[in-house]
């Protein structure tokens, strides 16, 4: 376990970067969306909207922005605004957020990265900030593979998929410059046979490529939250510190209809938000939060809900099932000379696994030697380290989610991913780790070897090392199983075809959808954030088209006249004064 914790710490540092020279926020950040952001404590006890999006994360932000083009939208985000956590806005600060709770060993309810440990014993995190996990990840931006689309259970309009990707990319994706280490990794991958060289490319293609990044050239992060700026801010209200406790249903029709939500603010006060005629409630709370809320709201396996005395709204046997997490295994090389840190920018793509890498400078304080043999340094030295990580395709292994509390949504559910229970996953890991062994034999990597006192040259590792006999399946399988951790790409719990249909509507209900990674059967490509943002835009446009058709047939209220604020012009805000909506921002506090 100590070895796994060391491996996690190293990778957290590596994949978030360590650019110490740039820590001052730039005026180039676009915080226009803050005009629509409110602390939930300042919102009325009861309100009504056309759409309610639960979760202002990687998919929820582009979804809400799109819907706000024509309708009133309430976003309920349990976390704070990014301005309250400046470290999430730059590559230099991400490590502090990821490690904060581990250091304090307590969850204060306000960290942007909420830690949890799966039933498998693997430490993991959930995004808890406006913008979701796109505000705490490594920034790597790459589109989904063809298999994801073909096996998703959704009949995609691929032209609209392309437009949705481009809508995201034009605003927040940068073309990265390669650091020295990333150039070496690219050379080594090609030398080891992970070809062809696909250059700079956002698409998922076999071979080696440089992909996009949500970090710009100055290390500034541009996450999903900035996509809110593309909506109509007059029609958008974002409540932070708003914890949704359950969805309200009407059972007057054959299928239960979602009609509102109950949420609490940071002071524990309860609020009710309802939807107007033909509106919808959309869960975008993530692969842990969305199935959890369905269960707490009475949608789930009949026998399970009955055992918890949760009133059953709709029996749905697959909620919380088919959970999956792509296992990650890595090796860590100590570099024998100072090296500039770099976040992941290059990926090697095969049919079975993906390889990414990063370099870091790890603070290191040597133990004092006796008799003053060497002076004790006044400040920690820096150890240059390179992390080479492998993620398998899929995965095929499946787990499940159970509630930790039948009433408290803040109690993180019990999640088990069952890493490597499917033998194909284990076989893919073995293949991937053998490829890492081949990388170490390339000429590109030779310069990173140390020379011992006898003149022999070899790599120096920090943490687990590959087995000596890499042709032995049993040794390689044991290495995969003993060194497994996460690359934070977990998904499932509300699968398409199991819990939601091809339009992401919850089967057997009305006015309720799930739009996030909980609907995924497999992880999309090398890194999921690009596809999560795309789906938010894609589904948002689909909903707008459906509403226009209803309006055309005269079956519903018309959409908002262009330029009109459908939210109403005033609300009761701080100090009991009547305040224009856009002025009560409070900087997320």
DSSP per-residue codes, 199-255: EE-SS--SEEEE-EESB-TTSBB--GGGGGGGS-GGGEEEEES-EEEEEEEE-SSSS
Distance CA 504, CA 353 (A): 28
Residue with tokens 């055992």: 307
pLDDT at 550: 87
pLDDT for 371:
46
User: pLDDT band at 454, cuts 50/70/90?
Assistant: confident
Q: CB-based burial of residue 346 (10 Å sphere; 0-12 exposed, 13-18 middle, 19+ buried)?
A: buried
User: What is the C-alpha to C-alpha distance for residues 209 and 197, in angstroms, rounded to an integer?
Assistant: 6
DSSP helix/strand/coil, 149:
helix
Give tens-digit pLDDT for 518-549.
999 999 999 999 999 999 999 999 999 999 99
pLDDT exceeds cutoff 60 at 586? no
Q: What is the pLDDT of residue 73?
A: 98
- pLDDT tens across 224-258, in order? 999 999 999 999 999 999 999 999 999 998 999 99
Looking at the predicted structure, is the pLDDT value of residue 299 above 90?
A: yes
Average pLDDT over residues 167-182: 93
Indicate the annotated binding residues. 77-78, 129, 244, 488-489, 517, 528-529
d(CA 441, CA 490): 32
Phi, psi of 273 (to 5 degrees): -120, 130
| DSSP codes of every residue in 28-43 | TS--GGGGGEEEGGGS
Tokens 């005395």 belong to residue: 309
Residue 573 located in a structural domain = no
What is the reported pLDDT for 119? 97
pLDDT at position 97, please? 61
Q: What is the Rg, in whole angstroms, of the alpha carbon atoms belonging to the chain?
A: 24
Round to whole Å and give the CA distance between 236 and 582: 10
Predicted local confidence at residue 362, as pLDDT: 73
Question: Across residues 470-478, what is the average pLDDT?
Answer: 98
Q: Which domain holds residue 448?
A: 36-97+109-363+380-550
Mean pLDDT over 366-388 rounds to: 64
Mean pLDDT (the chain, rounded): 88
**Tokens, residue 161:** 């998929």
How sure is the predictor about 341, in pLDDT bands with cuts at 50, 70 and 90? confident
Within 13 Å of residue 153, how many CA atoms lie on the same side as its CB?
16
Alpha carbon distance 292, 82 (integer Å): 25
Structure tokens at 484: 């497994």
Q: Which two tokens stand for residue 582?
A: 């856009």
Beta pairing partners, 383 = 362
* Positions marked catalytic: 489
Per-residue model confidence (pLDDT) at position 491:
98
22 found inside a domain: no
State the CATH number of the domain containing residue 253: 3.50.50.60
Instruction: Give the Cα separation of 249 and 257 in Å (integer).
Output: 5
Cα–Cα nearest to 40, from 259, 228, 271 = 271
Helix, strand, coil percentages (3-state) for the chain, rounded to 5, are 30, 25, 40
Tokens representing residue 548 in the block = 């226009």
Report the pLDDT averaged over residues 423-440: 98
Which of residues 579 and 365 earns the better pLDDT score? 365
Q: Who wins on pLDDT, 32 or 579?
A: 32
Give the per-residue pLDDT at 107: 67
Query: What number is the average pLDDT over the span 481-490?
Result: 96
Q: How many Cα atoms are found within 13 Å in the side-chain-facing hemisphere of 541?
A: 15
Does residue 6 lie in a domain region?
no
Within 8 A by CB and 6+ apart from 368, the residues are: 376
Alpha-carbon span 99 to 145, nearest angstrom:
32
pLDDT band per the 50, 70, 90 thresholds, residue 338: confident
Mean pLDDT (whole number) for 436-461: 94
Task: State which H helix or E strand residue 67 sits in.
Answer: helix 60-67
With tokens 């992060």, the residue in question is 221
Q: Which residues pair with 387 in a beta bridge?
A: 332, 358
pLDDT in the model for residue 176:
87
Is 564 inside a domain boundary?
no
Q: What is the pLDDT of residues 41-97, one digit of tens each?
A: 999 999 999 999 999 999 999 999 999 999 999 999 999 999 999 999 988 776 666
State which H helix or E strand residue 13 sits in: helix 2-16
Q: What are phi and psi of 340, to 5 degrees?
A: -75, 130
pLDDT given at position 271: 98
> Any idea how long the chain is?
589
pTM for the full predicted model: 0.89
End-to-end alpha-carbon separation of the chain, Å? 38
Task: Say whether 519 sits in a helix, a strand or coil.
Answer: helix
* Per-residue pLDDT at 354 exceeds 90: yes
Q: What's the whole-number mean pLDDT along residues 472-501?
A: 97
Q: Give the model's pLDDT for residue 177.
A: 86
Integer Cα distance of 364 and 370 in angstroms: 19
Residue bearing tokens 């408290």: 408
Number of folded domains in the chain?
A: 1
Q: Which residues make up each annotated binding site for FAD?
A: 77-78, 129, 244, 488-489, 517, 528-529
Paired residues of 46 in beta bridges: 272
Alpha carbons within 13 A on the beta-carbon side of 429: 31
CA 125 vs CA 142, 285, 484, 487: distances in Å:
21, 14, 16, 10
> Is it the case that residue 23 has pLDDT exceeding 70?
no
């Amino acid at each position: 376990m100590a070895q796994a914790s060391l491996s996690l710490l190293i990778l957290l540092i590596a994949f978030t970067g360590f650019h110490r020279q740039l820590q001052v926020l730039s005026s180039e950040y676009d915080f226009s969306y803050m005009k629509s952001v409110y602390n939930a404590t300042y919102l009325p006890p009861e309100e009504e909207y056309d759409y309610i999006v639960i979760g202002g994360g990687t998919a929820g932000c582009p979804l809400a922005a799109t819907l706000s083009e024509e309708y009133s939208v309430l976003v309920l985000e349990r976390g704070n605004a990014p301005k309250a956590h400046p470290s999430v806005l730059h590559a230099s600060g991400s490590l502090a957020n990821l490690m904060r709770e581990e250091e304090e060993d307590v969850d204060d309810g306000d960290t942007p990265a909420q830690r949890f440990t799966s039933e498998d014993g693997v430490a993991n995190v959930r995004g808890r900030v406006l913008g979701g996990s796109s505000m705490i990840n490594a920034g790597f931006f790459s589109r989904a593979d063809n298999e994801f689309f073909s096996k998703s259970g959704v009949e995609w309009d691929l032209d609209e998929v392309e437009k949705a990707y481009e809508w995201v990319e034009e605003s927040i994706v940068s073309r990265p410059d390669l650091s020295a280490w990333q150039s070496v990794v690219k050379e080594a991958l090609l030398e080891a046979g992970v070809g062809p060289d696909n250059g700079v490319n956002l698409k998922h293609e076999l071979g080696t490529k440089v992909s996009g990044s949500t970090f710009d050239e100055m290390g500034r992060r541009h996450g999903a939250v900035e996509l809110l700026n593309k909506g109509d801010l007059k029609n958008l209200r974002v409540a932070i510190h708003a914890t949704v406790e359950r969805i309200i249903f009407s059972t007057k029709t054959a299928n239960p209809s979602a009609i509102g939500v109950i949420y609490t603010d940071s002071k524990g006060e309860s609020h009710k938000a309802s939807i107007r005629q033909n509106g919808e409630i959309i869960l975008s709370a993530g692969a842990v939060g969305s199935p959890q809320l369905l269960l707490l709201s009475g949608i789930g396996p009949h026998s399970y809900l009955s055992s918890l005395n949760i009133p059953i709204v709709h029996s749905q046997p697959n909620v919380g099932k088919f959970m999956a997490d792509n296992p990650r295994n890595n090796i860590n090389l100590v570099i024998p000379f100072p090296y500039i840190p770099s976040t992941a920018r290059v990926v090697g793509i095969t049919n079975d696994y993906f390889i990414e890498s990063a370099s870091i400078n790890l603070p290191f304080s040597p133990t004092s030697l006796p008799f003053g043999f060497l002076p004790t340094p006044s400040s920690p030295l820096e150890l240059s380290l390179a992390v080479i990580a492998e993620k398998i395709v899929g995965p095929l292994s499946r787990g499940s989610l159970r509630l930790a509390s039948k009433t408290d949504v803040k109690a993180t559910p019990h999640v088990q991913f069952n890493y490597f229970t499917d033998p194909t996953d284990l076989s893919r890991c073995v293949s991937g780790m053998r490829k890492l062994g081949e990388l170490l034999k390339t000429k590109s990597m030779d310069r990173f070897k140390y020379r011992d006192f006898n003149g022999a040259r070899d790599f120096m590792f920090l943490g687990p090392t590959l087995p000596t006999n890499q042709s032995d399946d049993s040794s390689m399988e044991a290495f995969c199983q003993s060194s497994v951790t996460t690359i934070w790409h977990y998904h499932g719990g509300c699968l398409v075809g199991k819990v939601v249909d091809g339009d992401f509507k919850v089967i057997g209900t009305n006015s309720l959808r799930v739009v996030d990674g909980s609907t995924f059967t497999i992880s999309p490509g090398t890194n999921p954030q690009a596809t999560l943002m795309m789906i938010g835009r894609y589904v948002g446009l689909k909903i707008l088209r459906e509403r226009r058709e209803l309006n055309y047939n005269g079956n519903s209220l018309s959409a908002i006249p262009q330029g009109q604020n459908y939210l109403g012009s005033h609300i009761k805000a701080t100090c009991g004064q009547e305040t224009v909506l856009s002025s009560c921002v409070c900087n997320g506090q």
